[in-house]
Amino acid sequence: MAGTTKYQDLGLVNTAEMFKKAMDGGYAIPAYNFNNLEQLQGIILGCVESKSPVILQVSGSARDYANPVMLRYLAAGAVEMAKAAGGDIPIALHLDHGSNFELAKGCIDNGFSSVMLDGSHHPFEENARLTRQVVEYAHEKDVTVEGELGVLAGIEDEVSHEVSHFTKPEEVEQFVAQTGVDSLAISIGTSHGAYKFKVAPGEEVPPLRFDILEEVEKRVPGFPIVLHGASAVIPKYVEMINRYGGKMDDAVGIPEAQLRKAAGSAVCKINIDSDGRLAMTAAIRKIFAENPAEFDPRKYLGPARDELKIMVKEKNENVLGSAGKA
């Protein structure tokens, strides 16, 4: 299809109202990454059944994997599927870790309602310039923009770091004012992937830097903050993967109690990718271990999708606090 697609025509919403309600209500909107049909179905059904608003997010490489044109129709299909399942929930389609203007523009022109420009690996002024450029284009079309200050460790599309650098609260006010962003991702000790900390047996993982978060909240009161790298790396799925032939011995994530605390603060969006991957992989490994002759994709992708739905519901109800807020 030539031309551009407006997200409003797909039945999507931007994140502005979602974040306002989350800020006022003391909960966080879940942002689940997806790249295929089964993930999308699991996320949507989990959010419909728990009556939660949702941000469907897609990284640059996930967009290439799914195909940008296909994605537009998948998102429209997700909206219609939610309605047919009896839940008219707010759904945003968001670019995760956009690395440049062209990518963000391509998403905006193809029906995304929200984009992230992640310039966190650049010096402040360059980060602000790149982010501002995206904000100017996005806001013309009522698309919301997420920026990032501070660096998370771990693997992201085109943005990969060995070590993290915590956000400097004293930079936040100027960044928000200079760029016009609608939300800001900060670095307070989370990281991407399933191996977030190196801990000896019996040792606790280091707590998140809530002192930095509080300082940020003081400097930009009421401004929506985003937490990346926020999977709990759910132990029951790691155990299941290991039991059925996998090898993820040192996988460890953010304790749920810390995520619950963050969700009650100015953190309005919590990003979850790894936990969804773990839930699906655990289900698939179990099927293959117990039924080595199985070769119908529906017989292993179906249970994987169902497990993801369960994970999403539990997360919305017990961690994000977004259940019942649609």
Query: Is 196 among the residues that bind ligand G3H (CB under 6 A)?
Result: no
Pairwise CA distance, residues 227 & 272, whole Å: 9
Told to check if 258 binds ligand G3H by CB under 6 A, we report no
CA angle at 46 for the pair 40 and 47, rounded to the nearest 5°: 90
CA–CA dist 145, 97 (Å, integer): 11
Nearest CB to ligand G3H, comparing residues 49 and 164: 164
Distance CA 322, CA 79 (A): 18
Instruction: Check binding of 146 to ligand G3H (CB under 6 A).
Output: no
Instruction: Examine residue 164 and tell whether it contacts ligand 13P (CB under 6 A).
Output: no
How many chain residues interact with ligand 13P (CB under 6 A)?
A: 14
Is 118 tagged catalytic? no
- Single-letter amino acid code for the residue at 289: A
Q: What is the DSSP letter of 195?
A: B
Q: Should residue 13 be labelled a site residue for ligand 13P when binding is judged by CB under 6 A?
A: no
Residue 62 interacting with ligand G3H (CB under 6 A): yes
Q: Determine if 230 is a binding residue for ligand 13P (CB under 6 A).
A: yes
Binding marks (x or -) toward ligand 13P, 86..105, rule CB under 6 A?
----------xx--------
Other CB atoms within a 10 A radius of the CB of residue 200 amount to: 5
The SS3 assignment for 252 reads: strand
Window of 21-29, 55-63, 205-213, 238-246 that interacts with ligand G3H by CB under 6 A: 55-63
Q: Are 38 and 279 spatial neighbours (Cβ–Cβ below 8 Å)?
A: no
Tell me: does residue 187 bind ligand G3H (CB under 6 A): no
286 near Zn ion, rule: CB under 5 A: no
For residues 173 and 141, the answer to whether their CB atoms sit within 8 Å is no
> Using an 8 Å Cβ cutoff, are 15 and 95 in contact?
no
* From 96, 118, 273, 275, active-site residue: 96
Cα torsion at 250, 251, 255, 259 (round to 10°)? 150
Exposure pattern of 77-89 as b/e (b: 16+ CB <10 Å)?
ebbebbeeeebeb
Size of the site for ligand G3H (CB under 6 A): 10
Q: Are 92 and 55 in contact (CB under 8 A)?
A: yes
Residue 118's binding partner among ligand 13P, Zn ion, ligand G3H, none (Cβ under 5 to 8 angstroms by kind) is none
Out of 99, 271, 281, 322, which residue is the one contacting ligand 13P (CB under 6 A)?
271
Residue of 5, 14, 15, 33 interacting with ligand 13P (CB under 6 A): 33
In the complex, least distance from residue 229 CB atom to ligand 13P, rounded to whole angstroms: 4
Out of 60, 90, 189, 229, the only residue in the binding site for ligand 13P (CB under 6 A) is 229
Min dist. Cβ of residue 161 to Zn ion (A): 11
Q: Answer yes or no: are the C-beta atoms of 16 and 38 closer than 8 Å.
A: no
Among the listed ranges 207-215, 228-236, 243-251, 316-324, the one in contact with Zn ion (CB under 5 A) is 228-236
Token pair for 262: 């963050």
CA distance 203 to 187: 23
192 binds ligand 13P (CB under 6 A): yes
| Site for Zn ion, rule CB under 5 A | 228
| Site for ligand 13P, rule CB under 6 A | 33, 96-97, 192-193, 228-231, 271-275
| Site for ligand G3H, rule CB under 6 A | 33, 59, 61-62, 96-97, 156-157, 192, 273
Q: Supply the residues annotated as catalytic.
A: 96
